[in-house]
Amino acid sequence: MKKVLIPTKLNAVARETLNAHGGYEVVQDDSQELSTLASQHPDTYALFVRSEKVTPEIIDAMPMLKVVIRAGAGYNTIDTKYARSKGIDVMNTPGANANAVAEEVIALMLADARHIVLADASTRVGKWEKKNFMGKEITGKTVGIVGFGAIGQLVAKRLFGFDAKVLAYDPFLSDERARDLGAVPAELGEIFEQCDYISLHMPENDDTRGVINKSLFARMKNGATLINCARAGIINEDDLRELKADKGLRFLNDVYAKDAEGDKSVSDIADIMLPHLGASTNEANFNAAQRSATQLIGYDDKGIASYVVNRDVPEGLDRAYSELAFALAHTCRGIAGGNKQMKLIETSFYGDLAKFSGWLLVQIVAALSDDFDRTQGYDAALEYLKEMGVEYFNRETDTSKGYGDSITVDVTTSVDAATFKRISVRGTVAEGNMMISRINDFDKLYFEPVGTAVLFIYQDRPGVVGRIGNALAEAGININDMRNPHDPSGKNSLALLRISGKVDCEVVEKIAEQIEALHASCVSY
Ligand SMILES: NC(=O)C1=CN([C@@H]2O[C@H](COP(=O)(O)OP(=O)(O)OC[C@H]3O[C@@H](n4cnc5c(N)ncnc54)[C@H](O)[C@@H]3O)[C@@H](O)[C@H]2O)C=CC1
Ligand SMILES: O=C(O)CCC(=O)C(=O)O
């Protein structure tokens, strides 16, 4: 059993999902400090946190820790570098709470524009200060979004309902993409100069700390509003203090240097301040909790490391190709019949993927062997294969084949001392979906490796597919998708079916007997 420690108020769906999957012992306790819990549970394998600080001391208190999952977006509270040095993967759950924050931004804008907080307090004590609460409308205003990621984009989408003009600054997003999303791409200075509202949605890191400073505040329009629901560290609070009154700026704030009770340094300059409530909706808490659990399961069962933030995922590599490499190797392993003794792994990385071959090999080795620690890198993967007596060969790719960005994984296993079996699987990513395009000689499959697949190779003759369908139906299994090509000789056929649920090995074996299959296997993704 792998111990998962959840020292925070996280929706019970995380615990329930892990328990339903099995193999995890979940300890959830938000009544004690993380430091206390860490020392009580040194055998923790995975830690789920919200805004709790994960320091080197916390990490050292749990020597078996392998994964930290931030149930949320910002991971500036986790010492990711120290975690890396200890071989610990840190993940976040991008987008899981984005809508909650986007709605909070709109709530803050409206609340401030219509004096909701002050007007409520005044009316509640019996006053009638209608003339003091003349408001303004956000409809038609120009709003600048700094950091046009999951939250920034949703804020824009919500604002379009108010006919707002949205300017977006994000150095990692193309102007074309920003325009596709309805925003006007702009430089940071232009945003501060032209906007009535500026909402910050970039992460806090070494590049962003303190970047929202005097030089930008000085360019703001008089009476403009700054909203910070991102992180306290990205703005220079003293610079804002210096200019705020003169320019009549408004400042709406959700974030602090420390999430804790006590006086807040911004209380003199914040017009509305909330206790870091951005993600505090039932929906966001549920989403982040569920995503944390499913990401851990995906990481453990399928090697999905795409959410890991403290490993050098090479720049320019679409994460879907990491998952593809894993899925192709996992398919080879399934067709080879599980944990067979591997002799040789051969790979081809076509198109732009050639430069990511080292990173992709790690995913392949992780898929082929449960013992390989996938938090390690390329050199460790090569070393591991050597220790296991497995040869590895990465082929030069032939661009004339026109395979685009695709991967081939060939695995040769020994059936007995004298016989070897070679499984070759090629695949690509199309419209964001993984596709297996070839299995051995069966080409143009375009089969998505998800759910459960069964695979039969047989001598081609009429009626076989019908018999497979009937036998599956008798076992209560529906067919969701199917490919049935011939091999180039035209003698053999492949029936590759995605089925509605897990299937017992006996059912597959029985069908194989009935149709006199040359090969039968079942792969769960
Ligand atoms: N108040 C709250 O409760 C919450 C706050 N947050 C904060 O909001 C931040 C953004 O969250 P998401 O939109 O989900 O993350 P995201 O990763 O989807 O978006 C962040 C965007 O910022 C951009 N960016 C990076 N460096 C930048 C820079 N120097 N200038 C401008 N843009 C830059 C990135 O390219 C990315 O598009 C998180 O990092 C977190 O700190 C997130 C969730 C809840
Ligand atoms: O979990 C929370 O309440 C804070 C969320 C947050 O700040 C984040 O996801 O970055």
DSSP secondary structure of 410-470: EEEEEEETTEEEEEEEEEEEETTEEEEEEETTB----B---SEEEEEEEE--TTHHHHHHH
**What is the gyration radius of the CA atoms in the chain, in angstroms?**
28
Kindly state the tokens that stand for 402: 């026109």
Tell how strand 342-349 and strand 391-394 pair up.
parallel
Per-residue model confidence as pLDDT tens digits over 18-31: 999 999 999 999 99
Instruction: Assign 272 to helix, strand or coil.
Output: strand
Q: Report the run of H or E that residue 151 belongs to, with start and end.
A: helix 150-160
For the chain, the residue count is: 525
Spatial separation of the C-alpha atoms in residues 52 and 77, rounded to whole Å: 7
Kindly state the tokens that stand for 393: 């060969």
List b or e across 421-455, with b for residues whose CB sees 16 or more CB atoms inside 10 angstroms. Answer: eebbbbbbbeeeebbbbbbbebeebebbbeebbbb
Instruction: Name the DSSP class of 226.
Output: E
pLDDT(315) > 80: no
For the segment 402-423, the average pLDDT, to the nearest whole number, is: 87
Domain 319-524 falls in which CATH fold? Alpha-Beta Plaits (3.30.70)
Nearest bound ligand to CA 232? 1
Distance from residue 309's CA to the centre of ligand 1 (Å) = 13
Kindly state the tokens that stand for 349: 């990385």
Distance from residue 147's CA to the centre of ligand 1 (Å) = 6
For the segment 318-324, the average pLDDT, to the nearest whole number, is: 87
Tell how strand 433-439 and strand 419-430 pair up.
antiparallel
Spatial separation of the C-alpha atoms in residues 48 and 514, rounded to whole Å: 49
Spatial separation of the C-alpha atoms in residues 70 and 307, rounded to whole Å: 10
CATH number of the domain located at residue range(s) 2-96+282-302 in this protein: 3.40.50.720
Tell how strand 519-524 and strand 452-459 pair up.
antiparallel
Q: Where are the domains of the chain?
A: 2-96+282-302, 98-273, 319-524
Ligand 2 atom with least separation from CA of 97:
9
pLDDT(392) > 70: yes
For the segment 214-221, the average pLDDT, to the nearest whole number, is: 97
**Sheet containing 433-439: order of strands:** 391-394, 342-349, 406-416, 419-430, 433-439
For the segment 101-116, the average pLDDT, to the nearest whole number, is: 98
Distance from residue 493's CA to the centre of ligand 1 (Å) = 50
pLDDT above 90 as % of the chain: 84
Number of C-alpha atoms within 13 angstroms, CB side, residue 242?
11
Number of C-alpha atoms within 13 angstroms, CB side, residue 419?
5
150 lines ligand 1 (CB under 6 A): yes
For the segment 431-451, the average pLDDT, to the nearest whole number, is: 94
ipTM given for this complex: 0.99
From the list 55, 146, 49, 58, the residue with the least C-alpha distance to 105 is: 146
Q: State the pTM of this model.
A: 0.73
209 lines ligand 1 (CB under 6 A): no
CATH number of the domain located at residue range(s) 98-273 in this protein: 3.40.50.720
pLDDT(102) > 80: yes
CB 198 within 8 A of CB 174: no
At 469 the pLDDT is 95
For the segment 214-226, the average pLDDT, to the nearest whole number, is: 98
At 313 the pLDDT is 66
Instruction: Assign 480 to helix, strand or coil.
Output: strand
151 lines ligand 1 (CB under 6 A): yes
120 lines ligand 1 (CB under 6 A): no
From the list 434, 318, 306, the residue with the least C-alpha distance to 374 is: 306
At 7 the pLDDT is 98
| Residues at CB less than 6 angstroms from ligand 2 | 50-51, 72-74, 97, 276, 278-280
User: Do 2-96+282-302 and 98-273 share a fold?
Assistant: yes
For the segment 112-135, the average pLDDT, to the nearest whole number, is: 98
For 189-193, which contacts have Cβ atoms below 8 Å and span 24 or more sequence positions?
A: 189/216, 189/219, 191/144, 191/145, 191/146, 191/167, 192/144, 192/216, 192/217, 192/219, 192/220, 193/219, 193/220, 193/221
Nearest CA to ligand 1 atom 38: 74
146 lines ligand 1 (CB under 6 A): yes
Query: In Å, what is the CA distance from 428 to each residue of 57, 359, 447, 461, 521?
Result: 43, 16, 10, 31, 22
